[in-house]
Amino acid sequence: MRSWAWAVVLLVLQGGIAMADTTDVWDQVEHKYADANGVKIHYAALGQGPLVVMVHGFPDFWYTWRKQMRALADAGYRAAAVDLRGYNLSDKPKGVENYAMPLLVGDIAAVVKAEQVERAAIVGHDWGGSVAWNVAMRRPDITRLLIICNLPHPAGIAREIATNPQQKKNSEYAFNFQKPDAHKVISLERLTQWVTDPAVRPRYLQAFQQSDVEGMLNYYKANYPKPDAPPPPENFTFPKVKVPVLMIHGLEDQALLPGALNGTWQWVEKDLTIVTVPGANHFVQQDAPELVSNTMVDWLSRRRQ
C-alpha cells in the first residue's frame, strides 16, 4: 500500500481528519476583537473574500450564524459574526446609557475597521437586525448591502406597537424587560429553551453564563418603544437606506408580526427583496438554515463587486 494510503488509514483509526465534522464552524473560526472606543467587541471570522458582518439578537451569540457562516465561506466570502456588547466574550459595560443605538452602531463600525476594509455587507437578526438597520441609516459609508432576518424596519415596528392591538399584546414581554429589576428573574436555562438542537444547547448556556443579563435587557430599556408610545408623527422621517436590502421573515414569529413589513419600501432607496418563510419562527436562520443560507449567498453573489 502506498504511503499516502497508510496515512489516510492512520487518520481514520485515530479519529483524525476523515472523522471530523467539517460542517460545524465552532473549532474552525478565528476569534478576534475590535476596539469600539474602549469597549472590546469579540467576533468570530471564517473564510476569505468580501466582508459580511453578522449581528445576532436576544438571547443569542455569534454561533447563531454557524450555518450561514459555512455557506458564505464556501461561496468565497469572509463572514464575521459579532458578539454584541453585553454578550459572551465581548465587554459588558454597566448602565443603560451604554446600550444606546449610536454606540451599538459604533461597535459594528469598529469590526469593519478591524477587518481593514472600507465597507461590508451587514446582516442582522432581532436586535442585531435593529442595529443593522441603523448601521445602514447612520453609516452608509461602511454599508455595501443590507440583509435583515425577522426584524422589520424600526418605523414599522413602532407603528404596529402603537396601532395594532395584537402586536402590542405580543410585545408585553419586551415591556416587562424594560422594568428596572427584570434581569433578576431571568433564568439562564430558560434562555436556552428556544435552541432546537440539543447538541449545541450547552454552548448557548456557556455563552449566557459569560454574558450580562442586565446588559442584554438594556437593549430594550435604551431602544425599544415604550408601551404608551404614540405612533411616529406623519412628518417624522428616518434616513433612507441607500443600498439594496434583503429581508427574510419567518411567518410564525409571534414577537414581531409580519404586518410590520408593510411600507418598508418607503424607507429604502434601492431594490428591496422580501422573502417570507411559512413554518419558520422568530429564529429563521436556524429554523430554515438551508433556505436562509442559499438565499443570502445567491442574493449577495448577484450584487458582488
Q: What is the pLDDT of residues 35-66, one digit of tens each?
A: 999 999 999 999 999 999 999 999 999 999 99
Task: Judge whether 6 lies within some domain.
Answer: no
Cell of 15: 479519529
Phi-psi region of 6 (alpha: psi -120 to 50; beta: other; left: phi over 0): alpha
Bridge partners for 253 per DSSP? none
Handedness of CA 190, 196, 199, 204 (dihedral sign): negative
DSSP H helical segments within 29-171, as ranges? Answer: 66-74, 101-114, 127-138, 154-163, 165-170
- In a domain? residue 265: yes
Q: What's the pLDDT score for residue 21?
A: 57
The pLDDT of residue 10 is: 32
Complete DSSP assignment for 143-210:
EEEEEEES---HHHHHHHHHH-HHHHHHTHHHHHHTSTTGGGG--HHHHTTT---TTTHHHHHHHHHT
Asked if residues 157 and 223 have their Cβ atoms less than 8 Å apart, the reply is no
Instruction: Say if 24 falls within a structural domain.
Output: no
CATH code of residue 278: 3.40.50.1820
Largest Cα span, the chain: 78
Residue numbers annotated as active site: 126, 220, 282
In a domain, 4, yes or no: no
> Count of domains in the chain?
1
DSSP 268: B
All 3 cell numbers of residue 56?
445576532
Amino acid, single-letter form, for residue 145 = L
247 contacts: CB under 8 Å, gap ≥ 6: 147, 148, 149, 152, 261, 264, 272, 273, 274, 275
If the chain, 305 residues long, is cut into consecutive pieces of 10 residues, what is the mean pLDDT of each piece?
A: 37 38 88 98 98 98 98 98 98 98 98 98 98 98 98 94 95 96 96 94 98 98 90 79 98 97 96 98 97 98 89
Q: For position 232, what pLDDT does the model report? A: 73
User: 120-156 pLDDT, tens per residue?
Assistant: 999 999 999 999 999 999 999 999 999 999 999 999 9
Q: Residue 145: what pLDDT?
A: 98
**Per-residue pLDDT tens over the stretch 170-187:** 999 999 999 999 999 999
Residues sharing a CB contact under 8 Å with residue 95, sequence separation 6 or more, in sequence order:
218
Domain around 63? 29-301
Cα 60-84-303 angle, rounded to 5 deg: 90
